[in-house]
Structure 1
Amino acid sequence: MREHVRPAPDGEVETLVAFGADDVAWLVDLMGQDTVSPLEGGDPAGLARAQARFVEGAAERGFALRESSAPPASFLERPGVPAQVLDAVGAHGESFLRDQPSAVVALGAPQPPGRRLVFNFHMDTVGPHLPPLVENGVLHGRGAVDDKGPGVAALLGAAAAFAEDPFLAEEIEVLVTSVPGEEGGAMGVYGTRWVVESGWVGRLMVFAEPTGARVFDACSAAMTPRVTVRGLDSTDDHPYDGHNATLALSMAACRLTEVLGPMAERLGAKICLSGLHTGTSHNRVYGSGELRLNIAYYDVAAADELAAAVERVLPMVADEVARRFGSNPVARQLVRDWSQVVRLDWLKRGLPPLANRDETMERLLKDAGLPRHDAIGDGSAFTCDAIWAAGPGRYVVACGPGGLDTNGAHTAQEFVALRDLEEYAGRCRDLVRRFGAWARGTAGPA
Structure 2
Amino acid sequence: MSKVLVIDTNKRPLDPIHPAQARQLLRNDKAAIFYRFPFTLILKESRPEVSVQPLRFKIDPGAKTTGLALLNDKTGEVVWAAELQHRGFAIRESLISRRQLRRSRRNRKTRYRAPRFNNRTKPKGWLPPSLMSRVYNIETWVKRLCKLAPITGISQELVKFDTQLIQNPEISGKEYQQGTLAGYETREYLLDKWLRQCAYCKIKDVPLQIEHIHPRSLGGSNRISNLCLACEKCNLKKGNKPIELFLKNKPDLLKKILSEAKKPLADTTAVNATRFKLLEVLKATELPVETGSGGLTKFNRTQQGLDKTHWIDAACVGLSTLTLVVKYVKPLLLKATGHGTRQMCGTDKYGFSTRHRERKVLHFGFRTGDIVKAVVESGKKTGKYVGRVLCRKSGSFDISTKSGRVSGISYKCCTHIHKNDGYNYAF
Do these two structures clear the TM 0.5 threshold for a shared fold by scoring above it?
A: no
TM-score (norm 1): 0.26
**Larger Rg computed on CA atoms:** 2
Q: Which structure carries more helix by proportion?
A: 1
Which protein has greater RCO, CA pairs closer than 8 Å, 6+ apart? 1
